[in-house]
């Protein structure tokens, strides 16, 4: 196992001029294996000789190519986590959108059976409060965002189902909490913001404030609803009671009669068949009005079901109403006169499938012992089941593994969290209990026993010998000094990094200080070297952590410092001996040929910007991977030249860890802090190494 903290083998979108002729000899060709000899790095190459792959017994005749290989990433989980918004795309059966407050957006076209993550400009940099779909233009969506980064706030619009987004210029810098499209004309849109209410009548091109700027009572606006036939009538819910205008915003009136004082009004819904019938949800419960919200009556709900995230009228079934409360999901079949709890989950949003009369989609956030999840009902909400495949929104902290076992961990999740385990290369995972009484922030696997784990929390250190099912507390090296990193060694040895130094322990539990300094991370390498990153740089050990030497400064004698180091990895080399090392730093990637004593900057394919991860392949010398700008790059010549593993531009949050298991050398695992573990095939890169290409070019002629 080496890490830096159905598989698809794709090719670049730029692939062209490729000719592959296969001469089959009474067997079926597996294109996964053919990909092993497809690579053509460094531009176009032509081979006129034959090359026979010994395991396939086939001939590849005349390979001409000018493309870069690309990676197809597969989300493997652990799936689940908080979801706050779900929207069904009108007119498209099974097409649904789900989103989380942190800006993660997912789509499904098969009725929530599986989900695909799409990019969003404000992902992880703001709060996604609302998302609405144009009913007449299913590829047109609007998203309302609030952020402490002023330039991120505003209304975002896409007209191609999330491929490209535009921040509406006149909303830039305004925190948007709610959106409403007028049912009669979807180019008329209201936006509830931290400073009031704005309106557009041209689908977002221009906006006009329609609420008094000096009235602090009408802000922030957390919910909106139009009258179905009169755009001048607009209802607005704030964090302290509801408001209404009947003249397009020229005048506003407080409409709180019958509602508890200072109620946060989370949602307002106007009955399209009877516009004088209005319902609202608030922190004080569910309210009903039969006179256009002039007067409200609090509805009787089950005990404990008071704070209500939303109320929804089922447009397909008369009298059916849903309410999502802190005590679970409620359903009424008689307009709210009587309620029944149908789920314990804390549902924050629902959407009705317009193509299937009985199907409803739900978004739940974690509360007390119930986890967050995406859910679906196929019986009009009578029963709900989780449907998270492809959807992940968790606080992941670590990825580790050995043999064919993988482990990951997450923190701060009600009802879930802790350790996750899979023993089939992430094809299917299961939850494994973490150490009790603490959050699991560090975890590492012993290289000689896939079930032997070490874990560290903010205040604890523990050990498991059965794959995380049971844990035994261990005394940490320094009481009160949190563990920053773990590196298990064979035969029960353990290295532990802390803010006060690096410690080594045997199975007896005795701790020995082997290096001073604030240790930030520890990383193993294929040549058995171990590197430790400190606040001042890096150091390396070649004797299982007993003795350590400092690595040289990549900019020795220069006024420019490389800044923080993020990782150092050594190449495998021959007989597990190599002096070639790569260092990931804030100033870019550096390469050493003398065991990390001196360094030279790497510019071929990478920028002189932060490289967060670097990893040499555990079994293939010269093959390396690095992360920069949210993308993953690959090198097949010992880190001298690099190319991206995909054709998409960067910008998304990059991986927190990369991992290759020695027992599965053709698979790369990447842990993304919120999106979980993704895998991709890397077997094709073996053929792009210079030594492999030389064999292809000079292979024996078969003619």
- pLDDT tens per residue, range 429-442: 666 667 777 888 99
The SS3 assignment for 370 reads strand
- pLDDT tens digits, one per residue of 609-650: 999 999 999 999 999 999 999 899 999 999 999 999 875 544
The SS3 assignment for 685 reads helix
The domain at 79-392 falls in which architecture? Answer: 7 Propeller (2.130)
The C-alpha angle 482, 485, 490, rounded to 5 degrees, equals 125
Query: Would strands 418-422 and 74-77 be described as parallel, antiparallel, or unpaired?
Result: unpaired
- pLDDT tens digits, one per residue of 562-612: 889 999 999 988 776 789 999 999 999 999 999 999 999 999 999 999 999
Contact 348, 326 (CB under 8 A): no
Local confidence band at 480 (pLDDT 50, 70, 90 cut-offs): confident
pLDDT of residue 507: 67
- pLDDT tens digits, one per residue of 45-98: 222 222 233 332 232 223 322 223 346 889 998 999 999 999 999 999 999 999
Instruction: Find tokens 């789509």 and name the residue.
Output: 107
By the 10 Å C-beta count (0-12 exposed, 13-18 middle, 19+ buried), 436 is classed as exposed
Residue 472 in tokens: 């035994």
The SS3 assignment for 693 reads helix
Instruction: Provide CB contacts within 8 A for 328, sequence distance 6+.
Output: 305, 341, 342, 343, 344, 345, 346, 347
In which element (H, E) is residue 21 found? strand 19-23
Query: Would strands 346-352 and 449-456 be described as parallel, antiparallel, or unpaired?
Result: unpaired
Q: How far is CA 253 from CA 243, 274, 658, in A?
A: 6, 21, 57
pLDDT of residue 680: 93
DSSP 604: B
| pLDDT, greater one: 554 or 387 | 387
Distance CA 332, CA 313 (A): 10
pLDDT of residue 10: 30
What is the rounded (10 degree) CA torsion for 678, 115, 363, 158?
Answer: 100
Query: Would strands 189-193 and 176-181 be described as parallel, antiparallel, or unpaired?
Result: antiparallel
Range list for CATH 2.130.10.10 in the chain? 79-392, 494-504+512-650
What number of residues does the chain have?
703
CA 494 to chain centre: 31
Per-residue pLDDT for 363 more than 70?
yes
Look at phi and psi of residue 638 and say left if phi exceeds 0, alpha if psi is from -120 to 50, else beta. left
**Whole-model pTM?**
0.84
Per-residue pLDDT for 174 more than 70?
yes
Instruction: Provide CB contacts within 8 A for 47, sequence distance 6+.
Output: 62, 63, 696, 697
Q: Which fold has domain 494-504+512-650?
A: Methylamine Dehydrogenase; Chain H (2.130.10)
Residue 462 in tokens: 């523990």
In which element (H, E) is residue 696 found? helix 690-697
pLDDT of residue 546: 94
The SS3 assignment for 408 reads strand
């Amino acid at each position: 196992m080496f890490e830096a903290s159905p598989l698809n083998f794709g090719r670049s979108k730029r692939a062209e001029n490729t000719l592959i002729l296969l001469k089959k000899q009474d067997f079926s060709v597996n294109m996964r294996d053919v990909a092993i000899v497809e690579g053509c790095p460094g531009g176009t190459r032509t081979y006129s000789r034959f090359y026979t792959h010994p395991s396939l017994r086939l001939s590849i005749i005349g390979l001409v190519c000018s493309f870069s290989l690309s990676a197809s990433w597969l989300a493997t989980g652990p799936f689940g986590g908080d979801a706050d918004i779900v929207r069904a795309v009108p007119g498209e059966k099974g097409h649904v959108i789900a989103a989380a407050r942190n800006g993660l957006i997912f789509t499904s076209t098969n009725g929530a059976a599986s989900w695909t993550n799409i990019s969003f400009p404000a992902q992880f940099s703001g709060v996604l409060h609302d998302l609405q779909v144009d009913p007449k233009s299913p590829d047109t969506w609007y998203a309302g965002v609030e952020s402490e980064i002023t330039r991120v706030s505003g209304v975002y619009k896409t007209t191609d189902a999330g491929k490209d987004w535009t921040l509406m210029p006149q909303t830039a810098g305004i925190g948007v909490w709610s959106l409403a499209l007028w049912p009669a004309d979807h180019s008329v849109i209201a936006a509830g913001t931290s400073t009031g209410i704005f309106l557009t009548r041209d689908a977002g091109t221009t906006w006009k404030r329609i609420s008094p700027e000096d009235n602090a009572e009408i802000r922030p606006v957390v919910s909106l609803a139009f009258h179905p036939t009169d755009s001048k009538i607009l209802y607005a819910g704030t964090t302290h009671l509801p408001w209404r205008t009947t003249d397009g915003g020229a005048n506003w009136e407080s409409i709180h009669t019958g509602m508890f004082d200072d109620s946060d009004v989370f949602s307002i819904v106007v009955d399209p068949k009877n516009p004088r019938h209005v319902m609202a949800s608030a922190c004080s419960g569910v309210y009903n009005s039969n006179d256009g919200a002039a007067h409200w009556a609090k509805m009787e709900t089950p005990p404990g079901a008071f704070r209500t995230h939303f109320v929804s009228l089922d447009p397909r079934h008369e009298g059916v109403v849903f309410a999502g409360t802190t005590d679970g999901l409620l359903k009424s079949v008689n307009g709210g006169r009587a309620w029944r709890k149908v789920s314990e989950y804390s549902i924050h949003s629902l959407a009705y499938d317009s193509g299937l009369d009985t199907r409803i989609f739900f978004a739940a956030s974690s509360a007390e012992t119930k986890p967050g999840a995406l859910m679906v009902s196929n019986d009009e909400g009578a029963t709900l089941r989780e449907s998270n495949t492809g959807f992940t929104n968790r606080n992941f902290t670590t990825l580790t593994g050995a043999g064919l076992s993988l482990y990951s961990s997450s923190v701060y999740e009600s009802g879930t969290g802790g350790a996750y385990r899979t023993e089939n290369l992430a094809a299917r995972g299961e939850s494994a209990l973490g150490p009790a009484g603490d959050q699991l922030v560090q975890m590492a696997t012993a290289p000689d026993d896939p079930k032997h784990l070490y874990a560290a929390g903010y205040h604890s250190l523990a050990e498991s010998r059965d794959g995380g099912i049971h844990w035994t507390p261990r005394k940490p090296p320094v009481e009160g000094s949190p563990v920053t990193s773990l590196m298990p060694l064979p035969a029960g040895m353990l290295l532990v990094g802390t803010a006060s130094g690096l410690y080594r322990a045997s199975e007896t539990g005795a701790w020995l200080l082997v290096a001073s300094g604030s240790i930030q991370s520890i990383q193993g390498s294929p040549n058995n070297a171990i590197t430790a990153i400190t606040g001042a740089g890096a150091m390396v050990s070649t004797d299982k952590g007993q003795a350590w030497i400092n690595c040289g400064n990549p900019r020795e004698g220069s006024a420019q410092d490389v800044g923080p180091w993020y990782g150092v990895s050594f190449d495998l080399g021959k007989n597990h001996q190599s002096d070639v090392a790569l260092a990931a730093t804030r100033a870019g990637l550096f390469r050493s040929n003398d065991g990390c004593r001196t360094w030279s900057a790497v510019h071929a394919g990478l920028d002189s910007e932060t490289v967060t991860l670097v990893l040499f392949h555990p079994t293939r010398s010269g093959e390396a991977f690095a992360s920069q700008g949210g993308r993953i790059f690959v090198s097949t010549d010992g880190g001298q030249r690099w190319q991206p593993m995909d054709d998409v531009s960067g910008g998304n949050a990059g991986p927190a860890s990369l991992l290759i298991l020695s027992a599965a050398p053709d698979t790369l695992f990447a842990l993304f802090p919120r999106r979980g573990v993704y895998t991709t095939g890397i077997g094709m890169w073996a053929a792009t190494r210079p030594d492999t290409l030389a064999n292809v070019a000079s292979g024996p002629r078969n003619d």
